[in-house]
Amino acid sequence: MEIRDFISDNGLRVVLIKTNKFKTIELNLFLSDRLDYKSVTTLNLLAILMKSASKNHPSVKEFSTFLKENYRIMIGASLTNLGETNTVNFKVRGLNAKFLENENINEKLFYILDEMVNNPLIEDGKFKDSYYDEQLRIYKETLEASRDYKEKVTIQKVNDIMGKDTPYGVFKDGDLRDLENLKNEDVVNEYQKLINRDACLYVIGDIEENEIQEYLSKYLKMSSKRSELSLLYKAEMEDKGAHQEQASFTQSSICLVYNFPIYKGDELSNAAKIYASMFNHYLFKIVREKHNFCYSIFARYDAYLGVINVYSNIESKNYDKTLELIDEIIEDLKNTEAHDVVEMTKGKIVNSYHKISDLYSSYVELHYYERLLGNEFDIDNITKEINEVTIEQVREVATKISRKLSFILKEKS
């Protein structure tokens, strides 16, 4: 893989990851800005509106037909919140010309990305009314349907408790309640802000720089701006206590929120990664394998917020005992002598990084977010630092964790 940075003639920052390993060319456009808690739902709807139709393909059918006829070009638009930063990522993927019969669709990939981003179906300051109404209805029903799943209900309730006006409480997929007073014009306003964000384009595949420059002279005439983005959210986390609710499910769903104030880039951040992985390991071993309380249990560490969340589905009768077991795991890790588990965990994390070069989307995302932090994404360096972590450092980070919320969505008896 060869990585090349350049600026297009319009001032757009481009990172070319040149490789002939994949059968595709993929474009990833990242648009980042400070997270505005109130706008996440609007941005979700906006992403749907931008990726489903455009001025030159003014219906879902026409837009999808264009994609299908060009060898099923795949597109995506998604939101990521890291710390106090929100990123909207537009993705376009198409087949390398080598696999097409006398055709080359590379230009069409840039074209359709430009259509999504710079040519949305906006007329007279609004998204086309019928189109907007349809997509809004679909989005609403999708959000409602997601509440069929107890895990999503649990996450939303935990977010509400943690505070919707904090990064802890922002629900990534959007909130149904925010749609009540949302107007078409509000979404267009959000669009205007979006296209003025700091932009960065990644291109991965077997394609030359001069070919990219040629396409960028026609499409994606946007520039990158240097903006001060704060990826890390370092704030005192309030103790929210214990909460429970009941719902018509067969089984309970739980979420525990822990303050774990070790952030990306901190001296102990690699030790924190290892700690989080070890925590996961013991949750599985003890809560599931030894006590048979659940099928799945896992911990998710967010190094941008300094948080670890634990999720599981259990029976409510085992809830108190589960909390007890987790508290014991946390206590034991403070004095861990499990050198073998530390080494095993390092090996797993190192290998997961090495795998990333085979997963182009993951590679691109990590590369981009490291750049936002002002770092270069260097897998060899990262894995070297992981391997250098000591058990003493793991013990040290183990003392930093404290539970701030326990929530159970209980099954109906």
Q: Are 198 and 225 in contact (CB under 8 A)?
A: yes
Taking CB under 8 A as the criterion, which residues in 83-102 touch other proteins? 93, 95, 98-99
Exactly one of 86, 87, 106, 313 binds other proteins (CB under 8 A); that residue is: 313
Neighbour tally for 398: CB within 10 Å: 21
Exactly one of 27, 92, 276, 294 binds other proteins (CB under 8 A); that residue is: 294
216 contributes a contact to other proteins by CB under 8 A? no
Which residue stretch of 143-151, 184-192, 261-269, 392-400 sits at the interface with other proteins (rule: CB under 8 A)?
143-151
384 contributes a contact to other proteins by CB under 8 A? no
Exactly one of 182, 344, 366, 373 binds other proteins (CB under 8 A); that residue is: 344
69 contributes a contact to other proteins by CB under 8 A? yes
Exactly one of 354, 384, 388, 390 binds other proteins (CB under 8 A); that residue is: 354
**374 φ, ψ (degrees, to nearest 5):** 90, 15
Which residue stretch of 27-35, 43-51, 292-300, 330-338 sits at the interface with other proteins (rule: CB under 8 A)?
292-300
Contacts of residue 180, Cβ cutoff 8 Å, sequence gap at least 6: none
Of 248 and 335, nearer to other proteins (C-beta) is 248
- Give just the sign of the alpha carbon dihedral 355, 359, 362, 364: positive
106-109-113 Cα angle (round to 5): 155
Contacts of residue 29, Cβ cutoff 8 Å, sequence gap at least 6: 89, 90, 91, 113, 117, 199, 200, 201, 202, 220
> Which two structure tokens, joined as six digits, stand for 223?
């520039």
Count of residues in contact with other proteins, rule CB under 8 A: 60
| Identity of the residue numbered 205 | G
Taking CB under 8 A as the criterion, which residues in 155-214 touch other proteins? none
**Rounded Cα distance, 270 and 263, in Å:** 10
The structure tokens 């086309």 sit at 128
Residues forming contacts to other proteins in the complex (CB under 8 A) are 21-24, 59-61, 63-65, 67-69, 71-72, 74, 93, 95, 98-99, 130, 134, 137-138, 141-142, 144-145, 147-150, 247-251, 281, 288-289, 292-296, 313-315, 340, 344, 347-348, 350-351, 354-355, 357-360
